[in-house]
A and B are shown apart, each in its own frame.
Chain A
Amino acid sequence: MSTLLAVVLDLAPAQWHAAAKASTSPLPLATFIQHLNAFLNAHIAANNDNIIAVFAALPGTSVMLYPAAEPHVPVPDANSYTPFKLLDSAIIHGIERELDVIADSDNEVPVALVGALSKALCYINRLTIAQPTAKNEHALDPHILVLSVSPDLSSSYIPIMNAIFSAQKLKVTIDVCKIYGPETVFLQQAAHLTGGSYIYLERRDALLQYLTMSFLSAPALRKTLSVPTQDKIDFRVACFCHKNIVDIGFVCSVCLSIFCQPVPVCSTCKTRFPMKILQRLNAARPLLPSANSNGAARNSSPAGGRTNGNGNATRTR
């Protein structure tokens, strides 16, 4: 059973700097690359037919590190296995080269994680679809491993969801290893929707162990190995108006924008809503304790509605 592993590296310089300075179990980029190379070598060694592709998400751009467009030919070394050497040097030189480029520009641009993810999907698509006559047609088991350090980027929500849905169509498993930074809801959903696992590193210095124990096995073998899965996934959404996380939202039927309170005009598509509906919704809406922002739409709702302690909203009529 050969697998096709596409690794997406999140190389946000600021986040890696912070990770190296972290108070508990710091992980500098150099150590990370050592662990990563050991993991990738293990993957190649596991099966002769295993394929690896490495993509890097950099601020504002994404590149394919391995297999590289212009391969860097390392000095032959009698003490190393050539495939390992090729892979390691391609990754190290690729990262060095790209980091040199962005070292000059010091303005903070978010990393193009979606770009790298899409490139990985395109690459997988090309390998699995374009050569259907290959002998390992059915054996090829593609999965993507995202090594993430940056927080969620709310503007990339739709592109990242599109990438997730294409992965679902291609039957590609997306695994996420969150090395540093806050939990990312988008990547949690990516792992959940494609049947992968999302792991938040508690001990960053044990990265290699996490990688080999959880992500080295083919997705098909995961059931037997009982790889850690996530229990709670946040399916709630942030409203478009105040970025509040809402349980019950109001959704525009035209563009599916989500609002935390009834609004007279949709802010995205400029659709006006009939007054009757606003009044009806205002009467029916549950009063959430957190939603006490002022707004014209709120005036008609009686202030007497209270919520009880455990979050069950009482409805006011």
Chain B
Amino acid sequence: MPPRRDADFMDVEFESDISLDDDADYDGKGKGKGKAKVTDKKKKDKGKSKAKDQAYTWEANFVRSWETVQEDESGSLQGSVEELLARGRRRRLLAPASAIRRTIIRHLVLLLDLSSAMMDRDMRPTRFDLMLQYAREFIVEWFDQNPLGQMGIVGMRAGIGERIGEMSGNPQDVLKAISERHKMEPTGEPSLQNAIEMARSSMSHLPAHSSREILILFGSLTTCDPGNIHDTLDACAQSKTRISVVALAAEMKICRDLCDKTGGQFGVAMNEGHFKDLLFELVPPPAQRSLPRPGGGGSANPTADLMMMGFPSRLPDTSPASLCVCHSELKSEGFLCPRCQAKVCDVPTDCDICGLMIVSSPHLARSYHHLFPVQPFTPV
């Protein structure tokens, strides 16, 4: 799998980063970023006067990433490359081989930071462009692995939360929502509280068996909130909303708290590759935490649920054209809801007429490999 190989490669680089950079250097980097944030607006007029800040990648200490790759006697890199591949294989073997319980029906709100801090150029070309690019890849991969999931997008800009994409089960809809870059031009300060409240309210109606997740891509070091964000945090913990944060600047106490208290993951991206790694770690469905009641002695499991699902019949391409209920377009192909016979364009979806969840059997099958993992192959 190409992304995995990439990930391993990056991993090695980080190790070298840590081993070669001493503490002082790391500190300097962190401070530099902090200052850069504060002086963000001034920078525009003053230009290069803040050169000692080391806010730019090209001013940072030199990392000799090639030195981690060792040549063997004959000058070939084969040994090193094989080691990198073996590392990835080992990680795959460490993955749990037994069936563990995972949340399959996922609902995720992607919170994008659209504050002015995202225009920082410490990641190429800018944090904002990189985030958009990785967000697109993330959405495709996420829907590939979670075909029954739904995703919405909320932006944090100028102190408010802005709904960019409605909750949808169709990757094309979600991608379309963030396709227009000029509509999301970063400006102002971000507000974590407003955005989280907006994301939470869009998931408040969901039944207990579906997961509620918020993924925040955060580039700023500040948040300007109308109230106490700890109240929001408590509300999220109460409603079992999982918050994960990938920070692009530095660790913030409140971000760490958000993740720790809701069971999410927190990570600070060190460079472009690490950012992608952190993001893609969140693609596979999270393991469900074991319930406090062991054995399930007699009492019903509160999070388990029977869901009514419809399995549609597909209309052939040659059938007479008719209007679909989702886009009101004249089409010949489509799927018929088994309960109300309405025609929808794409599955999986909720029927617009009767609200029945319509899935096709391959979608269910696609989720099975999370539940019943495949045994590792034996190399020959």
Taking Cβ atoms with an 8 Å cutoff, the residues of A that contact B are: 122, 157-158, 161-162, 164-165, 189, 193, 231-233, 235-237, 246-256, 258-259, 262-263, 266, 270-275, 277-278, 281, 284-286, 312-313, 315
Contact = CB atoms under 8 A, between A and B. Distances in A.
A257 to B, nearest CB: 10
A141 B344 CA distance: 34
A219 B360 CA distance: 25
B95 interface: no
A237 B104 contact: no
A193 B300 contact: no
A312 B314 CA distance: 16
A231 B317 CA distance: 7
Contacts of B365: 157-158, 161, 165
Given A235-B361, A248-B338, A258-B364, A253 B304 contact: yes
Contacts of A266: 304
Contacts of B338: 247-248
Contact of B361 (A236, A271, A272, A284): A236
B37 to A, nearest CB: 41
Given A247-B311, A251-B306, A275 B300 contact: yes
Q: Is the interface of B mostly helix, strand, loop or mixed?
A: loop
B222 interface: no
Nearest to B359: A251
Given A162-B369, A256-B367, A258-B364, A250 B306 contact: yes
A173 to B, nearest CB: 16
Contacts of B303: 253
B209 interface: yes
A28 B99 CA distance: 44
Contacts, number: 125
B305 interface: yes
A246 B338 CA distance: 10
Interface residues of B, number: 43
Contacts of B367: 256
A281 B372 contact: no
Nearest to A312: B341
Given A254-B101, A313-B339, A248 B308 contact: yes
B96 interface: no
Nearest to A129: B2
Interface string B288-326: 000000001001111111111111111011100000000
B364 A251 contact: yes
B142 to A, nearest CB: 15
Nearest to B356: A248
Interface of B: 101, 104-105, 209-210, 296, 299-314, 316-318, 335, 338-339, 341, 356, 360-362, 364-369, 371-372, 374, 377
B311 A158 contact: no
B341 A277 contact: no
17 contacts: A158-B365, A158-B372, A165-B366, A165-B369, A235-B335, A235-B361, A247-B310, A248-B309, A251-B306, A251-B307, A253-B104, A253-B304, A253-B307, A256-B104, A271-B304, A273-B305, A281-B306
Q: Is the interface of A mostly helix, strand, loop or mixed?
A: mixed
A95 B337 CA distance: 47
Given A161-B365, A253-B105, A273-B300, A233 B314 contact: yes
A235 B306 contact: no
B360 A235 contact: yes
Given A251-B364, A272-B296, A286-B339, A235 B314 contact: yes
B81 to A, nearest CB: 12
Residue in B305, B339, B366 whose Cβ sees the most chain A Cβ within 10 Å: B305
A189 B302 contact: no
A166 B300 CA distance: 37
A277 B368 contact: no
A231 B311 contact: no
Given A248-B356, A253-B209, A274-B300, A281 B101 contact: no
A235 B313 contact: yes
Given A253-B306, A256-B104, A271-B304, A158 B368 contact: yes
A281 B306 CA distance: 8
Give me the 9 closest cross-chain CB pairs, A-B, nearest first. A253-B209, A231-B316, A247-B338, A161-B365, A235-B360, A271-B304, A253-B305, A274-B300, A237-B361
